[in-house]
């Protein structure tokens, strides 16, 4: 790890003023410190955000709930209002890492974390995502990589919370210079679909400050399959959410995680129309196989994705 300057911000404005092109923000620090130890990232200044009071609040006083970027994953997983009203969000939070990690990891950090691809994380390799010319995973070990991608890099998004927040129509508020910019989850990650160097659409110096979640969707769930039952990354994850009112489904959305560089939406006219009959669910599930492009070692993800989409939709309608 190279030498760096440490600064503690007391306000959002202060954090932005301290930020430079070569600085990084520190919240829980789980991802950043790992990258610094492996010399993937060598900021000249680390800006600690933990003392900014307004970033660790959960406000449920209106129909749009606001979660500060420094709210811990543990706080989300055990918040009784979230469990009762947005169960999918609590389920996704409960799947993050271990209890120790959830106690320090933050909402903003979970959304902004970088690739976990072992070729990207290897200090002696200069892969495509690190500015090289080759995605080594394409012809190498690609068991955990993407089924869908818009660029040569096949490293998938690893954020649990991004998947359920996309299904819940959440908006991420990003401080960009003197302005606060609202981004949908799709907008937050779209750059990673097109650009192999990107993990998200954040600019240098951008700071996630909060996430707004409308609570119109009264049914939601999150599921994932991992190799281990605890403390493991998802092989495939799935979130489904919708509004059920008057025996009618509205705004149903299904997203997959760990299968693309972005939260991958299952697009279907049947979901848009609110048709969640058994026949329609079969059709939605079949569309996954038609669009996926599995590699030599990750074809198994197609079967898992199909099963999770079926289970998630069945769960929200039951």
Average pLDDT by consecutive 10-residue portion of the chain (318 residues)? 93 96 92 89 95 95 98 98 98 96 96 95 92 96 97 96 98 97 98 97 96 97 93 95 95 98 97 95 95 96 98 96
Q: What is the 3-state secondary structure (H, E, C) of 249-279?
A: EEEEEEEEECCCCCCEECCCHHHHHCCCCHH
Domain boundaries, given as residue ranges, for the chain: 219-317
In 10 A of CB 201, how many CB atoms?
20
The whole-number pLDDT of residue 1 equals 82
The whole-number pLDDT of residue 38 equals 85
* 185: phi then psi, degrees, rounded to nearest 5: -60, -40
In angstroms, rounded to a whole number, what is the distance separating the alpha carbons of residues 255 and 217?
15
Indicate the fold that domain 219-317 takes in CATH: Enolase-like; domain 1 (3.30.390)
pLDDT in tens, 54-72: 899 999 999 999 999 999 9
pLDDT in tens, 13-60: 999 999 998 999 999 988 999 899 888 899 999 999 999 998 999 999
How many Cα atoms occupy the beta-carbon half-sphere of 197 within 13 Å? 6
Which 3 state secondary structure label does DSSP give 96?
A: coil
The whole-number pLDDT of residue 123 equals 85
273: left (phi over 0), alpha (psi -120 to 50) or beta: alpha
Terminal alpha carbon distance of the chain: 51
């Amino acid at each position: 790890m190279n030498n760096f300057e440490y600064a503690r911000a007391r306000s959002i404005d202060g954090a932005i003023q301290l930020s430079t092109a070569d600085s990084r923000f520190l919240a829980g620090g789980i991802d950043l410190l790992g990258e610094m130890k492996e010399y993937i990232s060598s900021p000249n200044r680390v800006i600690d955000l933990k003392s900014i009071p307004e970033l660790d609040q959960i406000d449920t006083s209106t129909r749009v709930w606001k979660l500060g970027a420094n709210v811990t994953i543990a706080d989300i997983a055990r918040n009784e209002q979230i469990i009762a009203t947005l169960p999918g969000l609590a389920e996704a939070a409960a799947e993050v890492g271990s209890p120790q990690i959830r106690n320090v990891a933050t909402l903003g950090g979970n959304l902004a974390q970088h690739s976990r691809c072992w070729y990207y994380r290897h200090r002696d390799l200069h892969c495509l995502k690190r500015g090289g010319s080759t995605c080594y995973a394409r012809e190498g070990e690609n068991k955990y990589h993407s089924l869908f991608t818009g660029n040569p890099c096949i490293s998938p998004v690893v954020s649990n919370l991004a998947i359920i927040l996309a299904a819940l129509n959440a908006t991420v508020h990003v401080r960009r210079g003197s302005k606060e910019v609202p981004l949908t989850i799709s907008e937050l990650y779209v750059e990673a679909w097109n650009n192999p160097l990107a993990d998200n659409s954040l600019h240098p110096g951008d700071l996630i400050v909060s996430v707004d979640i409308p609570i119109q969707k009264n049914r939601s769930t999150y599921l994932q399959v991992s190799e281990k039952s605890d403390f493991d990354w998802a092989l495939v994850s799935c979130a489904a959410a919708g509004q059920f009112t008057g025996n009618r489904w509205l705004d149903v959305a299904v997203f997959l995680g760990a299968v693309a560089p972005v939260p991958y939406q299952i697009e279907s006219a049947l979901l848009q129309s609110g048709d969640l009959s058994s026949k329609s669910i079969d059709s939605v599930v079949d569309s996954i196989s038609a669009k996926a492009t599995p590699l030599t070692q990750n074809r198994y993800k197609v079967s898992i994705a199909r099963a999770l989409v079926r289970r998630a939709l069945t769960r929200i309608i039951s």
